[in-house]
């Protein structure tokens, strides 16, 4: 398996584009994206658990209920959520893609992201469809930019792998910077692959994967209203279709996980106002569930996040977060270390502090990527979660997000 160029266009048969159509006031910002496969695809998706859901989610659920789709359209700048005509607008977006690409409207995944509660005008989307569709090509970067809101960098990746002697590829783009919390979903992610996979096994692979990837990513504790992860598989790699839980399925799942972990780390690192990626690796847990709870408790703690911003080795905040998260925690067996490119420093062993150099700890925590290593000391299970520091800029960004 290797990382390759191309993003969502790396897999055979997929093209993409992103333009500024006029939803966003800033004309330098792309605000409408399209991904297209030249053949119909198996499709799978997972969605936000927030009870307040964007209208595009309802339309997408209905459209891919048969397990197939051929295109994805997504706008930024307006979430199309809590609008009386939201479903109608989302359906119109699908209709526009249908008319331009000559595919059924029911084969379109539709998504929106941005401000909640503002009416989405279909006019700029309609007016931009010619330019959007005619520009379809090897433009994954444009598509990635078109779905960004407060993101500061585009997020895309692709990998190649082999199944049955055939080269297969998976690529993806993502947006996510705020309203990110582990409670599926956590953002918008669009994945494409030319591997032949049945809709049922595609859904199984995605639903299983997100439990240890997107559900383990948190920026601010807010689960958004519009989040979804979708994957389209057109089978153009020519491998025998994966329709059972076989070794080929495991290979595919591993490739998918490589893509999703990369996107998770990028989303966490680009959290609103963030200056650091914070990863919490938990070992020695009594169960997988408790390992995941422990890792998420640490990366979700506002006090831990603030300490990471200040490069303060305040390990007591880590113990505090574990104490209200892990049901069977034994404080007397917990050990904690901080690690980065500058080295690793133990700060707590068996529930008690140990002497350490504050100067070295500061040097370690000043890095852009920080690992918090936690050993619960009671079992053999492990988990990993990703988050970021909490900065002044997070409040500034969200204080005037709508206006």
Q: What residues contact residue 69 under an 8 Å CB cut-off, 6+ apart?
A: 40, 41, 43, 63, 107, 108, 109, 230, 232
**CA Rg value for the chain:** 22
At residue 382's C-alpha, the angle toward residues 376 and 384, to 5°, is 105
Contact 318, 401 (CB under 8 A): no
Q: Look at the alpha carbons of 23, 15, 70, 134 in this order and tell me if their dihedral is positive or negative.
A: positive
The region, left, alpha or beta by phi > 0 then psi within -120 to 50, assigned to residue 275 is alpha
User: Which of 15, 48, 81, 186 is flagged as catalytic?
Assistant: 186
Contact 72, 109 (CB under 8 A): yes
Catalytic site residue 186? Answer: yes
120 DSSP β-pair partners: none
Question: Rounded distance, CA 44 to CA 199, Å?
Answer: 7
Q: What residues contact residue 261 under an 8 Å CB cut-off, 6+ apart?
A: 213
**Which are the catalytic amino acids?**
186
């Amino acid at each position: 398996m290797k990382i390759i160029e191309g993003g969502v266009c790396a897999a055979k048969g997929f093209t993409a584009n992103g333009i500024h159509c006029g939803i966003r006031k800033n004309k330098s910002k792309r605000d409408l994206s399209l991904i297209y496969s030249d053949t119909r695809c198996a499709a799978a998706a997972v969605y936000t658990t927030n009870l307040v859901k964007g209208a595009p989610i309802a339309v997408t659920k209905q459209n891919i209920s048969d397990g197939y789709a051929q295109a994805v359209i997504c706008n930024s700048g307006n979430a199309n959520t809590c609008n009386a005509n939201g479903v109608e607008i989302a359906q119109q977006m699908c209709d526009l893609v249908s008319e331009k690409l000559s595919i059924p409207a029911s084969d379109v995944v539709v998504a929106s992201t941005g401000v909640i509660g503002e009416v989405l005008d279909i006019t700029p989307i309609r007016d931009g469809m010619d330019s959007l569709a005619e520009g379809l090509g090897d433009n994954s970067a444009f598509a990635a930019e078109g779905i960004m809101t407060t993101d500061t960098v585009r997020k895309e990746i692709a990998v190649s792998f082999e199944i049955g002697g055939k080269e297969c590829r998976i690529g993806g783009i993502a947006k996510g910077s705020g309203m990110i919390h582990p409670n599926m979903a956590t953002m918008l992610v669009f994945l494409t692959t030319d591997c032949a996979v049945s809709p049922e096994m595609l859904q199984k692979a995605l639903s299983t994967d997100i439990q240890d990837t997107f559900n383990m990513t948190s920026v601010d504790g807010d689960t958004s209203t519009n989040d979804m992860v979708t994957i389209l598989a057109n089978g153009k790699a020519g491998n025998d279709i994966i329709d059972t839980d076989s070794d080929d399925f495991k290979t595919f799942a591993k490739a998918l996980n490589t893509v999703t972990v990369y996107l998770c780390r990028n989303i966490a690192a680009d959290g609103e106002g963030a200056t650091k990626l914070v990863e919490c690796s938990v070992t020695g847990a009594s169960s997988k569930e408790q390992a995941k709870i422990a890792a998420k408790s640490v990366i979700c703690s506002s006090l831990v996040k603030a300490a990471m911003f200040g490069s303060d080795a305040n390990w007591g905040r880590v113990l505090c977060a574990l104490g209200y998260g892990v049901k069977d925690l034994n404080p007397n067996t917990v050990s904690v270390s901080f690690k980065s490119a500058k080295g690793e420093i133990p700060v707590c062993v068996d529930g008690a502090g140990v002497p350490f150099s504050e100067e070295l700890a500061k040097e370690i925590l000043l890095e852009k990527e920080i690992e918090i290593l936690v050993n619960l000391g009671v079992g053999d299970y492990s988990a990993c979660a990703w988050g970021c520091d909490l900065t002044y800029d997070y409040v500034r960004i969200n204080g005037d997000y709508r206006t």
